[in-house]
Amino acid sequence: MNLENVNKVIKDFEKSIENPKKSKGKKLYTGVDLGTAFIVLCVFDEDKKPIAGAYEFAQVVRDGMVVDYIGACDIVRKLKSKLEEEIGDELIYAGCAIPPGTENIDGGAVKNVVESAGFITEKVLDEPSAANTLLKLDNGAVVDIGGGTTGISIIKDNKVIKVLDEASGGTHFSLVLSGAYKVDFDKAEEIKRDFNKHQEIFPVVRAVIDKIISIIDNACMGYDIDQIVLVGGTALLTGMEEYIEKKLGIRTLKPSNPMFVTPIGIALSL
C-alpha cells in the first residue's frame, strides 16, 4: 500500500465534491455507502477518475443493518439527482457494500435501496474487500472503526483471509461522552465530531479506545501483522493512529479521510 497514492485519490475525490466535472460521455460508476452516520455517493468514470460526490448525515443504518428503509431510499434518490444535475448526465451503474457475513440478512435490503433510487447494481461487495480496492494492502490488517462496531480484516497477499466484527465503535464513545458531559446523545455526537474538541475528549473516551485495541489485538493473534490501516468514521478521532501504534507496537496508518475509503473502493471496483 502506498499511503500517498491513497491520499491523492481521496483528495481528488474531495475536490470533485466541491467542483463536479462534466461526464464527457464516459461510462460512470457510483459507489454507494450506507453508513451509520453518513450516506456517501462517489462517482468515478471508466478511467477511474473521480467525477463527483455527495454525502449526507443520516441515521438510517445501524451496525450495518438498514433500520429506516424509506429514509435510506429518499436520501440516495436525492443525492443521485443532485449529482446528475451537477454532472449533466444520468447515473446508471452502481455498487454497494455490506458488512461481511450479512449477505443473507441485509445484503438484499442495501441493494434494494440502491435500486429504488434508479441505479442498476453491478456489484454488492463485502466492506473490507471494497476498502482494500483503494488501499491495495498486500499484507496487514484493515481496521474499520464504524458507528456500532469495529471490523478487523486480515489481508494476506492482497486477499481478505479473515474478518471479525465486534460491537464497539463510535456510538460507545458518544454514550460515554453523554454521561461525562451530562448532555443527550445527539449533543455528545456533535461534540465528538468537532475536531477542535478531540484533544479534550480523548482521555474521556480512552477506556473505549483501549477496548477497541484489545479487540484488534485478539483478532491479529496468530497472524504476522506488520501494519494496520484505519478506516471508518471513528478513525477520524485525532491521535487514534499514534495511540494504537504505541499500544500494539504495530505500524498504524490512517488515510487522510478514513470515511471515504470504502465508498471510493466500491466505485473503483466497478
Of residues 87 and 135, the one with the C-beta less far from ligand ATP: 135
We find the least distance from the C-beta atom of residue 89 to ligand ATP, in angstroms, to be 27
3-state secondary structure of 90: coil
For residue 16 the three cell numbers come to: 470533485
Q: Please report, as ranges, the residues that interact with ligand ATP according to CB under 6 A.
A: 35-38, 61, 63-64, 146-149, 169-171, 189, 192-193, 232-234, 236-237, 259
- Cβ at position 128, least distance to ligand ATP in Å: 11
Tell me whether strands 93-98 and 28-34 are parallel, antiparallel or unpaired. parallel
Residue of 154, 150, 55, 125 lying closest to 265 (CA atoms):
125
* CA distances (Å), origin 46, targets 51, 64, 243, 268: 10, 28, 39, 9
Shortest distance (Å) from residue 146 CB to ligand ATP: 2
What is the rounded distance in angstroms from the CA atom of residue 263 to the CA atom of residue 1?
18
Shortest separation between residue 21's beta carbon and ligand ATP, angstroms: 26
Of the two residues 23 and 133, which places its CB atom closer to ligand ATP in the complex? Answer: 133
In degrees, rounded to 5, the angle at the alpha carbon of residue 140 between the alpha carbons of residues 238 and 173 is 30
- Rank residues 1 and 212 by Cβ distance to ligand ATP and give the closer one: 212
Contacts of 213 (CB under 8 A, 6+ apart): 243, 244, 247, 248
Which residue's CB is nearer to ligand ATP, number 89 or number 189?
189
Compare residues 86 and 127 and give the one whose CB is closer to ligand ATP.
Answer: 127
- Grouping H, G, I as helix, E, B as strand and the rest as coil, residue 46 is coil
Q: Left, alpha or beta for 63 (phi > 0: left; psi -120 to 50: alpha)? A: left
Backbone CA torsion sign across 206, 57, 106, 121: negative
Q: How far is the CB of 56 from ligand ATP (least distance, A)?
A: 12
Indicate the residue among 201 and 220 with the shorter CB distance to ligand ATP. Answer: 201
Q: Smallest distance, Å, CB 215 to ligand ATP?
A: 13
Phi, psi of 33 (to 5 degrees): -115, 115
Angle, CA of 256, 9 and 48, to the nearest 5° = 155
Nearer to ligand ATP, 9 or 230 (CB): 230
Least Å from the CB of residue 39 to ligand ATP? 9
